[in-house]
Structure 1
Amino acid sequence: MNHHHDPNPFEEEEVNPFSNGATAPGSKSRNQPLASEVQLGFGQRHDTTVDIPLDTTNDSKKKGKELAAWETDLKRREKEIKRREETVTRADVPVDDKNWPPFFPIIHHDIANEIPVHAQRLQYSAFASWLGIVA
């Protein structure tokens, strides 16, 4: 068999298609990189520089202004909520006490007073089924 006309498809060649001196897939020349072109890490050469901004006073002043604006907004919201709570208290609006779950009450749950008598049994069954599924 003629070995020159039938190249070995499994022969390993060091070809880097991303380098400037990439060799053709069939050629046997292998270029060695110069010592100054040897890469130290992924995309990092020993002669690269990193720009670090040294003037951070403008950035800290900007953040300080943003924090001050945020704080005033929170104080305004807090005053508004307190005003609404006082208005509700003065108007004698009944506030439902949260009674469920007993170990950490987060909602008000009262089937006997809030659900019509003819639907209480169905509501109780549905609620018990839901608790069973969740548990």
Structure 2
Amino acid sequence: MSKLDALPHGPEFRFVDELVSLEPGKQALGRYLVKGDEAFLVGHFPGNPLMPGVILIEAIAQLGGVVAQSDPEIAALKNLLLTGVRGAKILGAAVPGELLEIEATVEGRLGGMIQVSGRVSTAGRELATAKIMLSGEE
């Protein structure tokens, strides 16, 4: 079982295809290929498909969850959810065929709350940055 299998999302809503590197409990690098057949691209935008910025933020959250839940010294949380977004910046758009690099770093933990910083880029072009909060039950 891969670490990505721990994500609670179904395949239709998973925005990390590959875990490139993982420092358990600390940081990770993942990838996602914008395939072009994703349902959200049909309406965003017809004839000019762009991956929505909120989904770039979701990709950071998903990879952040993998990092947080992999800490060998802290038990995985139950029902881990994205519960906050701060300082998010959407700096560009991803289009079908682009390979996204997603980075997530756990900055701090307090009980069932985890703060993660992350970024999404493609071909050296930064697309999004954000600090997110994940929360779960101990």
Q: Same fold (TM over 0.5)?
A: no
Computing the radius of gyration over CA atoms, which structure comes out larger, 1 or 2?
1
Instruction: Classify the TM-score, shorter chain.
Output: under 0.3
TM-score when normalising by structure 2: 0.18
TM-score when normalising by structure 1: 0.19
Structure that is richer in helix per residue: 1
Structure that is richer in strand per residue: 2
Higher relative contact order (CA 8 A, sep 6+): 2
